Copies of this chain bind each other. A is one copy, B any other.
Amino acid sequence: MPEPAYVKIAGEFARNIHTGRWPAKMRLPSYSQIVQDYGVSDIVARKAIELLLSQGLVRSERRRGIYVSDRPNLTRISPERQRQTPEETFRTESDQDISVDRTTEEVSATEEQAGPFGISVGDKITLVVTRVTEGRKPVSISDTYQPLGVTGVSDATHLEETLADRLPTTTHAEWLGTEPGDLVKTVHQRFFAQDGRLIMMSDVSYPRDRYDKFLFRMVLGESSSDANE
């Protein structure tokens, strides 16, 4: 039960990236190169790269090559980012051109929105789709729902964020340019007012190589016992 070849190769590559020996955006050796360099077969090289892809360390551009992620150590921090506009948030994360595009429309609430908002299916709500690019590369797309008349979240005092790995909706997949079968990081947000009323809901998708980790700052209630799980 020795370490499989693809784990060994992936480990070596990961170390190169973490230590900075392989800088951001560097092109990795191609599959055929790896096959030659390490004397392994095609599939071993692919499994190694796939391991890096699922950790978000590298990104694949079809027919061009595999590249080290743009910022392999970026952390998404909540809830601070909610006090800023997306422009501000992404600008602090980046040294490149950020572009934010919003489209607003009125749609009929489905079961998914009607339930949490406490309205009826078919009731009109506002949908804002926000698309963010960084230096021409899409980095985020979100669907934001609010009841008519409500604008912004200045009344919100509490935020719930749910993080999961999901197959993106077709709309999100198209915008992010992911391959069929590619998972994305999804953040589902719910903003609540002081009285517990739901003010806004948002579904955000990020490509897997966007963030290395997700940080959440929380306030603890009265008595916390021993914490370790």
A residues near B, CB below 8 A? 3-4, 6-7, 10-11, 14, 43, 47, 51, 54-56, 75, 78-86, 89-90, 102, 128, 130, 132, 140, 142, 144, 152-154, 156-167, 180-181, 183, 189, 191, 200, 202, 204, 212-229
* B162 engages A75 (CB within 8 Å): yes
A-B contact pairs, 13 of them (CB 8 A): A4-B180, A78-B218, A79-B221, A82-B225, A83-B220, A144-B227, A158-B217, A160-B215, A162-B215, A189-B227, A191-B220, A200-B227, A216-B218
A203 CA to B217 CA, complexed, in Å? 16
In the assembled complex, the CB of A141 is this many whole angstroms from the nearest CB of chain B, namely 10
* B154 engages A218 (CB within 8 Å): no
A55 CA to B89 CA, complexed, in Å? 28
